Structure 1
Amino acid sequence: MTTYAIGHLHEVELCADIVEYLEKIDATLAPYGGRFILHGGPVERLEGHFCGDLIVIEFDSREQAHAWYRSPAYQAILPLRTRHARGDVFIVDQVAQPHRAAEVLKRAA
């Protein structure tokens, strides 16, 4: 099932380490089939409060997402980002299709 690695980053200090991280991350994704779906950009806020950048990377499976994140190649560049950006990073699976909103009620019961 398709899985997304999602980062909501804020307080990003654009510096040499962040530039190096951005220059190297694509090569770490390639062996695991990771591809950017969203990578920052303008956000049109309709409700609530949002600040920072949203990054979404798609993988074919949760296993591939975990393998990428834990890979030596990604772990080698990860400190370049974590020293200069704050935020949350997590993975989440796509819902099975077709999906109806009320299906989440089954999980709550």
Structure 2
Amino acid sequence: MPAYAVAHLHTPSDHEDVLRYIELIQDTMEPYGGRFLVHGSPVEVVEGEWPGALVMLSFPDTEAAHDWYASPAYREILPLRTGHITGDVVLVEGVGPGYDARRTAAAMRTGHGRPAIS
């Protein structure tokens, strides 16, 4: 199942360290099958508020996403971003091709929680 790294960057910056981070991040992702889905695109807020920017990365699975985030190569460049940008980053597993939200609602109604996401 695919996994995603989603970053809500509250205080985007063009600081030289951030630009260096952007130059280097691709090489840290490639060994784990990571790729950008969203990077620097303007967001259109249709509900609520969204200060800042959105970045979304895709990985083949949760293990690859975790391995990338914990990798020495990524940990080495991470302070280039975190020293200048505040935000939130989450890793989340996606849903499989057969996912049906109606099954999730039915399971929640019967008190059986959420069914498998495949």
* 1:14 lines up with 2:33 in the alignment: no
1:46 counterpart letter in structure 2: V
1:10 counterpart letter in structure 2: H
Contiguous gaps of at least 5 residues in structure 2: 112-118
Spell out structure 1 runs of 4+ moving beyond 6 A: none
* 1:57 lines up with 2:60 in the alignment: no
What is the RMSD of the two structures over their aligned residues, measured on CA atoms?
1.4
2:78 counterpart letter in structure 1: L
1:52 counterpart letter in structure 2: G
**Tell me, what secondary structure is at the counterpart of 1:43?**
coil
Distance in 1 of aligned mates of 2:72 and 2:108: 36
Offset at 1:107? 5.4
C-alpha change, 1:50 and 1:102, in structure 2 (3 Å) is: same
Offset at 1:4? 0.3
Higher relative contact order (CA 8 A, sep 6+): 1
Percent identity of paired positions between Structure 1 and Structure 2: 45
Moved more, 37-46 or 81-90: 37-46
2:10 counterpart letter in structure 1: H
Give the structure-2-normalised TM-score: 0.85
Contiguous gaps of at least 5 residues in structure 1: none
What is the number of residues matched between the two proteins?
109
